[in-house]
Structure 1
Amino acid sequence: MRGGWPVAWDITAKESFDNFPTLVLSETEDGKVAGVLMRNPHHSNVDARLANAYAEPHEVEVLIKELTGLAPDKRFMGWYKDCNITADSIDAAIALTPESDAGQKHVLVYREMEWLSGLWNNPAKPHAYPMELSSVADFHGTRVSVAKRRSRGDLEVAQAKQTIPGDYDVLDQALALLSSSDGGTNSDYEAVPAIKVLCDWWNTHAPESMRPAALFRVYIWKPNRRTFVAADPEEPALQAEVLAKIPAYAIFQRSGRPTIALNFYRGRLFNKEDTCGTLTYYANGQEAWQIDQDLAQVDEAYYSLKGMRALNSQIANRI
């Protein structure tokens, strides 16, 4: 499926979910929309790739022209063309188009210089919830328009609120300790040497009330997007003003090297059983994550190792 499908899409046998209605629209200032209905077989994240490739208004014009010019069944970034759409509003476009067997459709709309994404649910279905459109770029850290970038705070916003400045020598030391043997079944990720070096540094220099840190999350600053991209691809990106609200973090900077933010957390000894599973804490003791897993199953330092490996790979690729 990733390389395309050799049979015409309309005669291909498929489940409703694998033929998911997806509206790709551009909205004008008066609320009118134009675009296409695509069919999503759900084999890749097209939203992020499309938003990254077509960020500026003139690029979106080219995209909509290309999509509306496609013949039915033609493939684009893993989606398959259904039909063209013009309507007086998003609601009208939704009313004109089919929904999945579960009463849903995906909406991707370019509005006010950025792509917004949401899931529409038929209100007549049980437990339906209203569609909420959210920024694709804010979540995935994709490329943004100049106008969107100007609306974001710059790095100085996060620098002003960091707990302590990072030490790049310690970060390099930790990266040098990474080994392919780190992690694995039944591993204690908090004991991985690369993780311990950075947590020991934090626990030596951070305020005393924040010193029982045993793990962290890794973010890489993208200056041309004014956002911190999470090293874990399943985690949302962070804008500088969002990072500034996190209570325990350090920013590591060095000329010619990527700027890195590490958010520090307490380890498993401090986790508590919660009605939703397990509750974790930032290094200062403030509640952090609610995780839908049993207390004994949670070892969030796994994401510290995953983030360090992703960071190491990015640095190696830049060199």
Structure 2
Amino acid sequence: MVTGASTAELAIILVDARNGVVEQTLRHAAVAALLRVPHVVLAVNKMDLVGYEEKEFLRIVEDFGRHAEELGLPGFTPIPVSALVGDNVVERSAHMDWYDGPALLEFLETVPVGVEAGDAPARFPVQYVIRHEEVRYYAGQLVSGSLRVGDRVTVHPSGETSEIVGIDVLGEAAEAAFAPQSITVRLADERDVARGDMITADGADSPTLTRDVRAAVCHLAERPLRVGDRVLVRHTTRTVKAIVKELGGVSSLAANDLGRVVLRTAEPLAVDDYADVRRTGAFILVDPADGATLTAGMVELA
């Protein structure tokens, strides 16, 4: 769930109307809160097995709401459904005339998604450097914001500056590019840019360049994560060595544990708070011995 939720803009948390809020419900809510999923639906299923009673639905919504507030989940949309007979799934139910909200599909079709990345500051992690006839092109995905020909830009972590003189989108020259397009960029000056560097537009909020990364994490591997472990940090297109300095007051994290970590990296990373730019605020920890994924992390700058 963590992997999917890290890029999701909407999460559906399913609750059995007979059982109400259970431990798994709270874990799913905690992950949605941790990963700042913008929209959350509480789908209370099997309403037919509790007689379509409004009081049963409201009891579950109230219980979930208390926990959601404690977890820091900013809001959620509760919808009563019966998947077996299709009540409130595609069309509104005749069995629950007390409910005046949308059916599940109706809500999914109208909720605003895909609007944040283009409004965010420009972040372009370089994936490939293409050399052609003594000209360098930098290829990758524009993960947030927009870039235009003529923009002054900064390359991180070196801090070198230049100007964009060319943008290609799908092999065609363009005056501008917008997240999440895959593009190639040409700069006015010969700069020492490599895979893993990040190009950002001047005048926008700059990323934080740091070797001390604080983050909320969900540990995924069966082997525990311990203070002092040496790991690899994969952040956008950049991979650096790091050591686990702190684990939020505990000595280790087991599989599926949620926690907090402080990492000391061998080289600086250009990061954003996950709440501001999800793609440049997210990373994974990798076992340097075998390349196995250990932990998913969300940067916390505040």
Report the TM-score when normalising by structure 1: 0.20
In terms of fraction of residues, the more strand-rich structure is 2
In terms of fraction of residues, the more helix-rich structure is 1
Report the TM-score when normalising by structure 2: 0.21
